[in-house]
Structure 1
């Protein structure tokens, strides 16, 4: 039944876009794709960082979108929107779901997003985590409201050398979770310093906090306006919070510091970036300073070159503020320690830093397999301690565009139970876009990926995409 529905819907969308796009203010896109592999699952990079749209199995899928960009960039007020969905057929499960559904209002340099909107892809999509260790492009967009600056804004007291960018957002975690009805608070603040005509520096911080909702184990969590203010300010919980939240901070905090250097040259542009995670005071005070995502990106400013862009990354999360562990005193009270930060997991918010079964941060953090109720219980303990290298490049071989990524990951295991030998994984990805031939109304992309090592099954996969795009 779903197969017939997807087929009819695909043909309808294709005919609709061809028939009405020329006289419509809308933009349309339709993609048909199929993925297969030698195992029951797909290789790592065929599913990771795909905004949660690619199931981890052999499948055929359709992706459709209706959208409109900001029409008058020079105007003080403008509006954009998008609605997109994915439907797929797989041997064990077929599904259809919304990818993005949002409207955006822009007034001068301020933007208000309402709904589910994907993150902008940075560094040509070559980064393993979109340049941010805690917020990648690995999951579906989370619904909510986000007020942000559209770009870096000049500060009136330092127009020549200092600019700022910020956001303030509230989201609803509407997947199946250990804490039903949990909410997500997010804010960020970044400063851009203009060092000279060619060099600039960005420093800033992201702060997320899961709060509210009802836990099957711990009951209803604090959710009053006073509790919301505690979440916003990163304060400890009140008398109705569990004891650990009274001693530490209310809710589940996930944050990151960012440092970035940007160079603009005559023949190349390059960016160096550093993204450092924290979940408590020890991380905020840099006791886990070794843990971070380091990246270096080069734009050769020749879009049609053999290598147009090149990226290298190193990610390390083994330290976790040291080996000191929490405990229980003789009187039953908790003993708080500064160590074993256990990134992306939480005792109360047991689904951790995941959404619809995928890790919200770097996809190197492996999420647990959902239980029989469809609930994901965080990321695999011990697999959140790893070291990873990533190299990515794109460019053209004659008139064929390509994108390639090569990653090597070493997983160490948990402090008291480290893997021996360590689990190592090499994963690669190659995608090519064929030149449009014979004036066909679609573009063809194809590619392959493979995994080898001792962490995931040795696996080779391939995919084929047909993309129909009619813009006004």
Structure 2
């Protein structure tokens, strides 16, 4: 019966044009594009290999394995020639395994005006400099589904002093789900980045801060609501201390739960064909962490890149992650580990839809408890990756290994280790795109082998 369902879904979508993996092609220059995806995954265990599921906006859910899926993604991108334009996106994914299920991943609408974008809805966004062939962004990753929000951001880098100094900014207000320990809490999110590019110097340097906050909401057990309103929003905006109606801890440190990153990157060009990138992402937690004192808690990355074309090896890089340093607050008040991504008031922690918003290497081992989570945040790891093109086949290859030790306050009795080897390749066939990928995991967390194949086709409605 399952095979009959699978074959039927496969045939229906195949006759409409097959597709895969959201790989960009020349059709991105057109206005309205419908991408149809038909794929299948098989796994040696009753769940997916780690990185097939992680950093994928929950397109594939925990516990799924040996299934076929279909993805429909309708979108309009912004015209590069228009001063005023609109854009939108709707993405739906369905799967057939023991049962048939479907869900929306993205739903958004936006307007671009001059150098600014105004967006409302659930949209995949990518912050910082981290490479998804590595561990991904530690805090603002795409491991969980997009959070519904309204955002304002600069369209590109805005020059301040010619090309010497440019700035890029973003601010958003969002809504967490209702079935949490702190029900219907708000999200505050922003970043501000600067880029220096001296004239006639083959190098550029960028740095900035990303700031997230969970605030408001009602405790599902006590029915006590956290402070909201404009004045408290201004406290959230500046990571300020709570007023008289706030909790005692929020009066001492900061109202709400604050966390974010400092991001640094240096890019150096070698001629017109190659450049190297060196980036650092440091974590910070709560108001005390706004000062970059956890300078050795985060990710360090380095890559060599081919600039204008794909070669046999167009990118070769590595990342090293270490979050074992977690300083306490200032002045000895509430001193102790910052406990990244966890919070005593917002006890689901930095999650959405019961999934860590940041990198999946921050493990949740009590995922069945949807009211409270413990995010195991002490991690060390190494990633080595490459991508390129061999004849008409593009590929990416990555090796990732990490060890999770639990938290500073509650370390695991035995650390959890996982190593992964991932290989993906894609090529064109009969005006479609085909992607074939495999992943092998080994270690104390999981030993698993998975295989994935996708077919891709873009249907263009108008130019």
Normalised-by-shorter TM-score class: 0.7 to 0.9
* 1:292-331 matches, cutoff 5 A: 292-301=298-307, 303-321=309-327
Q: Return the match for 2:134 from 127, 130, 133.
A: 127
1:442 aligns with 2:435: no
Deviation at 1:46, TM superposition (A): 0.9
SS of residue matched to 2:234? helix
Q: Give the Cα separation in 1 of the matches to 2:371 and 2:306.
A: 42
**Unaligned stretches of 5+ in structure 2?**
20-26
In the TM superposition, residue 234 of structure 1 has moved relative to its aligned partner by: 0.9
Pairing partner for 2:146 from 141, 145, 151: 141
1:402 equivalent in structure 2 = 395
For 2:85, which of 78, 85, 88 is the aligned residue?
A: 78
Q: Which residue of the partner structure matches residue 195 of structure 1?
A: 198
2:247 is the counterpart of 1:242: yes
String of CA shifts for 1:261-293, please: whole Å, max 9, x gaps.
122332312221111111124432333221011
- The separation in 2 between residues aligned to 1:181 and 1:287, in whole angstroms, is 32
Cα deviation code 1:94-114 (max 9, x no counterpart): 532111111221111111111
Task: Look up the match of 1:462.
Answer: 451
Q: Cα 1:4–1:410, aligned 2, differ >3 Å: closer, same or farther?
A: closer
Question: 2:164 aligns to what?
Answer: 161
Cα displacement string for residues 336-366 of structure 1 (whole angstroms, at most 9, x for unaligned residues): 4332111111111111111112211122111
4+ residue runs over 6 A deviation:
1-6, 121-124
Q: Partners of 1:153 and 1:221 in 2: how far apart?
A: 37
The answer to whether 1:377 aligns with 2:372 is yes
SS of the equivalent of 1:435 reads strand
Counterpart-to-counterpart distance in 2, 1:128 and 1:65 = 26
Structural RMSD (CA)? 3.0
Query: How has the CA–CA distance of structure 1 residues 137 and 376 changed in structure 2, closer, same or farther, with 3 Å as cutoff?
Result: farther
* Change in CA separation of 1:246 and 1:417 when aligned onto 2, cut-off 3 Å: closer
Q: Deviations over 1:308-339 (max 9, x none)?
A: 112211111011117x999xxxxxxxx94332
Alpha-carbon deviation of 1:397?
Answer: 2.6
Aligned counterpart, 1:429:
422
- Single out whichever of 425-434 and 406-415 deviates more from structure 2: 406-415
In the alignment of these two chains, the number of paired residues is: 445
Distance, in Å, in 1 between the alignment partners of 2:6 and 2:363 is 33
Preserved contact between residue 190 and residue 205 of structure 1 (Cα < 8 Å)? yes
Q: Counterpart in 1 of 2:186?
A: 183
How far did 1:14 drift? 6.2
TM-score for the superposition, normalised by structure 2: 0.88
Query: Partners in 2 of 1:302 and 1:238 — Cα distance?
Result: 54
Could you tell me how far apart the structure 2 residues matched to 1:315 and 1:390 are? 9
Q: Which runs of 5+ in 1 are unaligned?
A: 327-334
* Residue 25 of structure 1, CA deviation: 5.5
